[in-house]
Amino acid sequence: MQGIVIPITMVPGNSTIHRMNPLPKLLWTLGILALSFSTRNIAVLGVAFLIGLLLVFYSGITKAYVRVAMILFPISLTLITLQSIAPAFPRPWTAIVGFGPFTIYQEGIYSGISLLLRIMAMTTWAMVTIMTSHPSDIFTSLKKIGMPYVLNFIFVMTLQLIPILQSEFGIVLNAQKSRAMKGSGFGAILPSMVPVFVGAIERVQQLSISLESRAFGSSGQKTSFRQVRMAFSDYVALFLGFLVPGAATYWVIVDKSLDWSHSMVFSPAFAITLVLGATIGFLIFVFFAIRAALSA
Amino acid sequence: MSDKKPIIEFKGVTFWYGGANDKPAIKNINLTIHEGEYVALLGLNGAGKTTLQLCINGVIPNSIMGEFEGEVIVYGNDTYDTPVREMAKFVGMVFDNPEFQLSQMSVAEEIALGMESLGFSYDEMTKTITEVLEIVGLRGLEDRSPFGLSGGQQQRLSIASALAMRPKILVMDEPTSNVDPIGKEEIFAVAEQLNREKNMTVIMAEHEVEVMAAYADIVVVMHEGEILLNGTPEEVFSNVDLIHKLGLRMPQVTEYAHRLNQLNLASIKKPYPVTLDSAVERFKDIL
C-alpha cells in the first residue's frame, strides 16, 4: 500500500505564499476554478496553468507537486485520446483523419487539450493552496467565516483517519500473510476491507465517547486555540482574488472571439502524433501502476 | 477516610445497554467515593467496570442509550439531568486505547479541544497547555502530531487533555492496557502524583494488582455487574478464596502469606500484607 500512496499535505516552508492567510489562497483557487470552467480557450487555460506552475516553483513545493502531477498528468492524457474520437462538443464535427472505425475530429483535439489544461490549471492552483497552508489554519480560517464547527471537525478527523487506516491495512495484510493468505496485490486488499472498517467503526465509537467527555459539541460560546491573522497584504490578496479571476471569468464569458475551436486548425500529422503520444503515455503509466500495485 | 467529604454517590444504580430484558451491565450499585481518594476497580472483562465509570460523568445515561435506574450524584449534581459538558468540569476521562481518543493535528490542539468547547480564552489555553504538559512530562512536544507519539506518550496526552478542563476527578479505564512497560510506569506515576500532590480523586480500573495494592486507598472488586468487595487493599485482598474464585490475580506477597498459612508454615493474621514493604515488616517478626 505504502508505495502507491501520494501524500497531499503541507510542505513546510517559509515563502511569501506559505506565510499568507489561507483565505485569499482559497479564494484565488476558487476563482481559477470558476475561470477554468468558463472557458475552453487554450491560451487562457494555459496561462492560468503556467502562473500556477510559477507559484509552485516560487513557494518551493516543486518536488511534492511533481509527485502528484506524475500521477495526474498521465491519467489526464486519456482525455485527449477519448475526446479526439468522441468529442464532448456540439456537432457538427470536422474530421481530420480516420483509421479503421476511429475518426479523429478537429473539435476533439481542441476539446481534449483544453480539458487537460483545465484540469492541470485547477489542480496546480489547488495544490499550491493545500501544500503551503497548515490544515489547521485552513480550518480555523474557514471557521472564522462561518463554517460550522462540527463540519470542520469532520474534515480534520478525515485527514487524520487516512494515514491511520493505511497503517491498519498494513497490519491486516501482514496478519493475512502470516496465515498463508494472499498478502499483496489487489486480491489481498478486498478481504482486508472488513477488519479495517470494523476497526474504524469501533475507533469512531470510542472517539465519540472520549470527545463527549471533553465537552465536545456542547452549545454555548466556543473559542479557538489556533490563531490565524489577516495582515494588510492578505486583505489586498483577498481583494485581488475577487477582482482578477472575477474579471477574467467575465471576460472569457463575454468575449465570443475567444472560441478558437474552429479557427485553430490541427494538421493530420499533429493530430495523430498527439493522440498516439497521449495513448502511449497513459499505457506506460498503467503498466507501471499495475506493476507497483502487484509488488506492493 | 470518613473525615473526607463524599463527592461521588451511586445509589442503587442499574444499567442495561439493551432493553431491560437483557442482563444488566451493572446491577444495584451502591458506592460512595470521597474527595482525594485513589480508588482501584478490579474485575474481569465484562464485570461492569467501564459501565460504572461512564456513569460518573453522565455519558451513561445521557449519551449512551439504555435503561437506567438509580441515581449518581457527583459534587451535588445528579448526572441524569446534568449535561456531560457540565460534568466535564468535574470529571476527566481517560480510556484504554490512547490512539482512539486522539483526533487533532498537534499535541497542543489536542489539549485545546476541550477548552475550546468550554470557551476558554486564548491566553488561558496556552497557559493551561504548558501546565498540563508539565504535569504529564510532555513539554516540548506541543507541535508534534499526536499519532506520531509512543503509546505511553499518547496515553499521557489523553490524561493532559482531560486535565486541561481542570477536573476534580480523574477516571481512568484500563489506561495502561495498550502501553509498553515503561509507558505503564509513566502513567501510574502521573496518576499517583495527581492524587498525592493535587489531591485529585482518581478512579482507576486496572489489572495490575501489585500497583493498585500499593497506590490505592480503596479497592472495589466487581463481578458480573455487582460490587462484591469494597475496602482498603488489605481488607479486600484478605478475601483470598473469593478473589481466586473470581479468577482475579492478587499481589504476590499476599498470596505468599496465604500459602504460608495454608501449609501451616506460619500463622499470619488477616488482614494480609499487600505490598512488599508491609510484607517485610510483617514477616520480620515471623522469620
If you average pLDDT over every residue of chain A, what do you get? Answer: 86
Task: Give B259-272 pLDDT, tens digit per residue.
Answer: 989 998 888 888 89
> What is the chain B residue with the closest CA to A215?
B85
Domains of chain A, by residue range, sit at 2-133+230-295, 148-212
Mean pLDDT of A165-183: 82
The reported pLDDT for the residue numbered B154 is 92
> What is the chain A residue with the closest CA to B95?
A210
Mean pLDDT of A61-80: 89
Q: Smallest Cβ distance to A223: which of B108, B120, B165?
A: B120
* Terminal Cα-to-Cα distance of chain B (whole angstroms): 33
Domains detected in chain B: 1-90+170-179+200-229 (3.40.50.300), 91-166 (no CATH)
Tell me how far apart the alpha carbons of residues A88 and A115 are, in angstroms, rounded to a whole number: 10
Pairwise CB contact (< 8 Å): A221 & B119: yes
The reported pLDDT for the residue numbered B1 is 46
Cβ–Cβ contact A210 with B under 8 A: yes
The reported pLDDT for the residue numbered B56 is 94
**A144, pLDDT greater than 90:** no
Residues of B with CB under 8 A from a CB of A: 54, 57, 59, 63-64, 83-85, 88-89, 91-93, 95, 97, 99-106, 108-109, 112-122, 125-126, 147, 158, 161-162, 165
**A2, pLDDT greater than 50:** no
State ipTM: 0.83
Pairwise CB contact (< 8 Å): B116 & A222: yes
Q: Is A220 left (phi over 0), alpha (psi -120 to 50) or beta?
A: left
The reported pLDDT for the residue numbered A6 is 55
Pairwise CB contact (< 8 Å): A210 & B101: yes
Answer whether B74's CB lies under 8 Å from B7's CB.
Answer: yes
> What is the chain A residue with the closest CA to B86?
A215
Helix axes A62-85, A106-132, angle to 10 degrees: 160
Tell me how far apart the alpha carbons of residues B251 and B209 are, in angstroms, rounded to a whole number: 6
Which phi and psi (to 5°) does residue A259 adopt? -80, 100
The reported pLDDT for the residue numbered B20 is 63
Q: Long-range contacts for A155-164 (Cβ within 8 Å, ≥24 apart)?
A: A156/B103, A156/B104, A156/B105, A157/A207, A157/B103, A159/A9, A159/A135, A159/B105, A160/B102, A160/B103, A160/B104, A160/B105, A160/B147, A161/A200, A163/B147, A164/A203, A164/B99, A164/B147
Pairing, β B38-42 against β B201-205: parallel
Answer whether B219's CB lies under 8 Å from B212's CB.
Answer: yes
The reported pLDDT for the residue numbered B23 is 87
Better-predicted residue by pLDDT, A279 or A181: A279
Q: Which amino acid is at A27?
A: L
Task: Give A100-130 pLDDT, tens digit per residue.
Answer: 888 888 888 999 999 999 999 999 999 999 9
The reported pLDDT for the residue numbered A209 is 86
Pairwise CB contact (< 8 Å): A209 & B63: yes
Question: Where residue A5 falls among pLDDT bands split at 50, 70, 90?
Answer: low
> What is the chain A residue with the closest CA to B102?
A207
Pairwise CB contact (< 8 Å): A136 & B115: no
Mean pLDDT of A264-284: 90
Task: Give A35-68 pLDDT, tens digit per residue.
Answer: 999 999 999 999 999 999 999 999 999 999 998 8
Helix axes A106-132, A268-295, angle to 10 degrees: 40
Q: Smallest Cβ distance to B59: which of A160, A212, A221?
A: A212
Q: Smallest Cβ distance to A215: which of B88, B103, B126?
A: B88
Task: Give A219-244 pLDDT, tens digit per residue.
Answer: 777 888 888 888 999 999 999 999 99
pLDDT in 10s for each residue of chain B, 287 residues: 456 789 999 999 999 987 666 789 999 999 999 999 999 999 999 899 999 999 998 988 888 888 899 999 999 999 999 888 888 889 999 998 888 888 888 899 999 999 988 889 999 999 999 999 998 999 999 989 898 898 889 999 999 999 999 999 999 999 988 888 888 888 899 999 999 999 999 999 999 999 999 999 999 999 999 999 999 999 999 999 999 999 999 899 999 999 989 998 888 888 899 999 998 988 887 77
**Chain A residues closer than 8 Å to B97 by CB:** 206
Q: Smallest Cβ distance to A222: which of B57, B91, B119?
A: B119
**Chain A residues closer than 8 Å to B121 by CB:** 223
The reported pLDDT for the residue numbered A296 is 57
Instruction: State the nearest Cα–Cα gap between A236 and chain B, in angstroms.
Output: 27
Q: Smallest Cβ distance to B117: which of A157, A203, A218?
A: A218
> What is the chain B residue with the closest CA to A150?
B117
Better-predicted residue by pLDDT, A289 or B213: B213
Cβ–Cβ contact A93 with B under 8 A: no
Instruction: State the nearest Cα–Cα gap between A291 and chain B, in angstroms.
Output: 31
Tell me how far apart the alpha carbons of residues A19 and A26 are, in angstroms, rounded to a whole number: 14
> What is the chain B residue with the closest CA to A149?
B117
Contact pairs from chain A to chain B, CB under 8 Å: 106
Pairwise CB contact (< 8 Å): A210 & B54: no
**Chain B residues closer than 8 Å to A223 by CB:** 115-116, 119-122, 125
The reported pLDDT for the residue numbered A3 is 43
The reported pLDDT for the residue numbered A4 is 44
